[in-house]
């Protein structure tokens, strides 16, 4: 079962149980609440009737006029709209008894005059000085004929109880009001339930969508991708950033583990040369041999020093998220400065930098020290592979919003299957003199290019290799 379906199902069950419980509580309270209100109004009405009939009952006069008025009350035509429901008649039952419970007036059953109602709860309790009320069926076999009857004592001027006035109302007349209220509550509850389901569905869809983005990201990282973490809000965003930080740490650890495994191989050759030369220098040697082995010691020491310095430089660059000191620079001026520093190496091998003097003035934004390091490694790589007496071609131009520097040598080039590995640490092809480099120079150049939102591209030049460095131009 998918996570989204489980979350939605759990929300549906929770919302359904909550809605059912709330509606059940509301419905169980509607009828009692309505009856409580009706009973309270009947109490007021019973006392009103008791007060109206007290004077005539105390004087022992004729109660017929009062009975007639009460009968006419039940026959009045009513046209009232109560919150949309029509009321067209008065459905009160009023009866009056004496102090013994004998009926004097009964609007519901006029023929009941003279009968004894003293055993009925409303009359009996009122005669005993208690609150008198009862609910009974007017037709024993019909549950819908329930009538609520409330009584009040009739008192003479001295406060002596002389009778009971009872007012009743059939509960059936309240059913339509109760039914309408229950329907409204049900529709409102249903609407809220549907709205909560829609909201829950939206929240669940949003949650599952973002969780699946995290899942895709995790699977891509597992497959070796270096894509950045998705931008999410809240706790999921914190999780995404934590996963991205973990990915970077693991990638860095894997890279350095690979480099550490390859480092002994890179150190083995110069160390072997140093040891061999050192052992020979301990023996008596002719002067030419002694000088040759001494030069070998110096060369291998310089090779080791260069390897360590480049490893430290690459480690420093990989720890950066952006250039350290950003400023506006002339890339052509930096290139001429680096060419001047490498002039002794160029003269030693009889190499020329074609196009150096004709470089256009192009400005970029970046770290001067890092860009000098990149240019030094690009030109140093070209010098190492260029045949003696050849020319290294330099081209600097603007292409759209980017500045492109191309360095081309005329050396042996690179096999087609090796282009994908160029720029990786410890990968290098054989130089014209038979030696192999560490590959750290191009790795440093690629890292500097990445920090400046640029890149390196390698192309065969037939003969030789063409390396293109691209980075954003400075805005004019």
Euclidean distance between the first and the last CA atom of the chain, given in angstroms as a whole number = 57
Q: What percent of the chain has pLDDT over 70?
A: 82
Judge contact between 125 and 137, C-beta under 8 A.
no
Q: pLDDT, tens digit, for every residue of 323-356?
A: 778 888 898 998 999 889 888 888 888 999 998 8
Of 109-123, 170-184, 405-419, the range with the lowest mean pLDDT is 170-184
List the beta bridge partners of residue 96. 105, 165
Q: Mean pLDDT in the chain?
A: 80
Instruction: For 58-67, write each residue's pLDDT tens digit.
Output: 888 788 888 8
Burial-class residue 4 by CB neighbours within 10 Å (0-12, 13-18, 19+).
middle
Beta pairing, strands 363-366 & 465-472: unpaired
Question: What is the DSSP code (8-state) at residue 457?
Answer: E
Q: Per residue in 26-38, pLDDT tens?
A: 667 777 777 888 8
- With a threshold of 0.75, does the pTM exceed it? no
Domains of the chain as residue ranges with CATH: 3-180 (3.30.450.20), 228-319 (1.10.287.130), 323-476 (3.30.565.10)
- What's the average model confidence in pLDDT over 316-328? 74
475 pLDDT band (50/70/90 cuts)?
A: very low
Torsion region of 370: left, alpha or beta (phi above 0 gives left; psi -120 to 50 gives alpha): alpha
């Amino acid at each position: 079962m998918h996570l989204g379906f489980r979350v939605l199902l759990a929300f549906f069950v929770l919302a359904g149980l909550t809605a059912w419980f709330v509606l059940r509580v509301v419905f169980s309270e509607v009828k009692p609440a309505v009856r409580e209100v009706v009973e309270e109004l009947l109490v007021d009405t019973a006392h009103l009737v008791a007060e109206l009939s007290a004077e005539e009952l105390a004087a022992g006069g004729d109660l017929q006029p009062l009975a007639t008025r009460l009968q006419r009350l039940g026959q009045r035509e009513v046209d009232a709209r109560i919150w949309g429901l029509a009321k067209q008649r008065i459905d009160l039952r009023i009866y009056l008894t004496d102090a013994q419970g004998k009926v004097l007036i009964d609007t519901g059953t006029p023929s009941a005059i003279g009968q004894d109602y003293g055993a009925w709860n409303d009359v009996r309790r009122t005669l005993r000085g208690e609150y008198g009320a009862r609910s009974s069926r007017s037709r024993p076999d019909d549950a819908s004929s329930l009538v609520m009857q409330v009584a009040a004592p009739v008192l003479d001027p001295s406060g002596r109880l002389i009778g009971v006035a009872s007012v009743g109302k059939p509960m059936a007349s309240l059913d339509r009001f109760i039914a309408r209220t229950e329907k409204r509550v049900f529709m409102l509850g249903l609407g809220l339930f549907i709205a909560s389901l829609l909201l829950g569905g939206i929240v669940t869809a949003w949650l599952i969508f973002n969780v699946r983005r995290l899942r895709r990201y995790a699977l891509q990282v597992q497959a070796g991708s270096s894509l950045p973490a998705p931008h999410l809000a809240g706790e999921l965003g914190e999780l995404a950033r934590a996963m991205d930080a973990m990915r970077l740490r693991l990638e860095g650890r894997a890279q350095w583990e690979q480099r550490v495994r390859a480092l002994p191989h890179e150190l083995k050759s110069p160390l072997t040369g140093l040891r061999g030369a050192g052992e020979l220098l301990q023996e008596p040697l002719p002067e030419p041999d002694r000088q040759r082995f001494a030069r070998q010691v110096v060369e291998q020491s310089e090779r080791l020093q260069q390897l360590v310095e480049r490893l430290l430089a690459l480690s420093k660059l990989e720890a950066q998220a952006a250039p350290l000191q950003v400023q506006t620079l002339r890339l052509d001026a930096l290139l001429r400065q680096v060419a001047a520093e490498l002039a002794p190496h160029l003269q030693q091998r009889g190499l020329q930098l074609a196009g150096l003097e004709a470089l256009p003035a192009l400005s970029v934004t970046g770290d001067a020290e890092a860009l000098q390091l990149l240019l030094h490694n690009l030109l140093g790589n070209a010098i190492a592979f260029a045949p003696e007496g050849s020319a290294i071609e330099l081209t600097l131009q603007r292409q759209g919003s980017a500045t492109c520097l191309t360095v081309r040598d005329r050396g042996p080039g690179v096999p087609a299957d090796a282009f994908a590995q160029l720029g990786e640490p410890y990968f290098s092809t054989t130089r014209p003199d038979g030696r192999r480099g560490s590959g750290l120079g191009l790795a440093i150049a690629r890292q500097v290019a990445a920090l400046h939102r640029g890149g390196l591209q390698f192309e065969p030049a037939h003969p030789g290799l063409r390396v293109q460095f691209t980075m954003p131009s400075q805005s004019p």
